[in-house]
Structure formats: structure tokens, C-alpha cells
A = this chain, B = another copy of it.
Amino acid sequence: MTTAAEPGLRERKKAATRQSLHAAAMRLAIEHGPERVTVEAIADEAGVSRRTFSNYFGSKEEALLYGDYQRIHLLIEQVRARPAGEPTWVALTAAAEQFYLKLGDLDPQWVAQSRLVRAQPGLVGAQVQTFAALERDLSAEIAARTGADPASVRVKMTSAVFLASLRVALHIWLDKPPGTNLWELVSETLAEAGRGFA
């Protein structure tokens, strides 16, 4: 048994279906506008039933934001690659930096998605929930790094504030003219949180 075992056919199929539904949702949203996309159309596009769509995503918004979810989740996993002795906030900031710099290089259509997200008012609510849902995972990661209790005040606050920083930076970035550097804003919000508010 290896540490990163083959996911198995079942899991791979499941992941493929989820990805397919997400891609279909994005395609249709870009083509017809996010508000004119129905669940039925997404399901048809992905070749599954409406019911199956609901088995994977609780709403259209969730399907659209699954890309964001995956990206942030990837960032959280990158935290694991940081040196063990590194202080938590430094590790988080460094992971965010390498993540957003890499993102700045090749994002042909990601900007399009993000702008599309802002256009649809209903998505901001789902956006907030997406970030909040990741707090649990990040807390687990931080707890594993530091040996602290995942339910402790310190760990939970660090997760919440780190993700809130990313979220706020993203929102401000969306209000700025295209071409604005996202990492600069993220860096600024993280620095603000790092230095405290007292």
C-alpha cells in the first residue's frame, strides 16, 4: 500500500463526473450568461440526469464555484510542502505567494470566470460559503503542522482570518480595473492581518 494509492475506477469516475458538470456549467454560463443557465441544461451537457447533478452540487452556484474550491484547496495542500519549522503565518503567506504568482502567469480564462462571478449577485453568497467550508480543512492542516488542537481558538482564528484575507482581496480586486495585480492585494490583506488590529 503506497501513501498516494490509485484512487480506483469508482473514485476516478466520480471525479470525472464532477469535473464534467463543473465544466459544462462554466461553458454554458460563459455562452448564455450565468443567470440563464438551468440545471437541466447543465445535466444534459454533461450527460447525466438532473437528479445526479444534485448529488454532486447543491446548486448551480456551487457547480460554478467548484473551480475556486479546487484552487484554494490546492493552496492548502501546498502549505504541507512548507518546511516543518516555519511559523504558521509565514508558511501560509509563502504558500499564497507561490500560488498567486504561478496563477498570474497562465490564466487565460480564469479572469473571465472571476469577472463572471462578480456579475452574478447570487454568487457572492455561495462564494462566502465556499471559503467558509475550507476553514475546516485548513484548520486540520495547521493543526497537523503545529501539533495543536484543530478546535483551538488559535488554529480556528488563523484559518478564518487567512481565508478572509484571500476573500477580501479577491473582492477588492474584482472592483478594480482589469489587469490589476491580484497578488499585491493579497499580500496587502495578509500583511494587515499579520500585523493585527489592536
Minimum Cβ distance to chain B for residue A129 (Å): 5
Which residues of B have CB within 8 Å of A164? 157, 160-161, 164
Name A148-198 residues within 8 Å CB distance of B.
Answer: 151, 153-154, 156-158, 160-162, 164-165, 167-169, 171-172, 175, 185, 188-189, 191-198
**A158 CA to B189 CA, complexed, in Å:** 10
**A128 located at the interface, meaning its Cβ lies under 8 Å from any Cβ of chain B in the complex:** yes
CB–CB A168/B196 < 8 A:
no
Q: How many copies does the complex hold?
A: 2
CB–CB B153/A185 < 8 A:
yes
**A185 CA to B139 CA, complexed, in Å:** 18
Name A137-155 residues within 8 Å CB distance of B.
Answer: 151, 153-154
**A88 located at the interface, meaning its Cβ lies under 8 Å from any Cβ of chain B in the complex:** yes
CB–CB A88/B160 < 8 A:
no
**Other contacts beyond A157-B192, A161-B193: 12, CB < 8 A:** A90-B198, A125-B129, A128-B128, A128-B129, A129-B129, A153-B169, A157-B164, A157-B168, A160-B164, A161-B164, A193-B197, A194-B196
**A189 CA to B161 CA, complexed, in Å:** 11
Name A83-114 residues within 8 Å CB distance of B.
Answer: 88-90
**A132 located at the interface, meaning its Cβ lies under 8 Å from any Cβ of chain B in the complex:** yes
Q: A161-B161, A194-B196, A197-B193 are in contact. Are A156 and B172 (CB under 8 A)?
A: yes
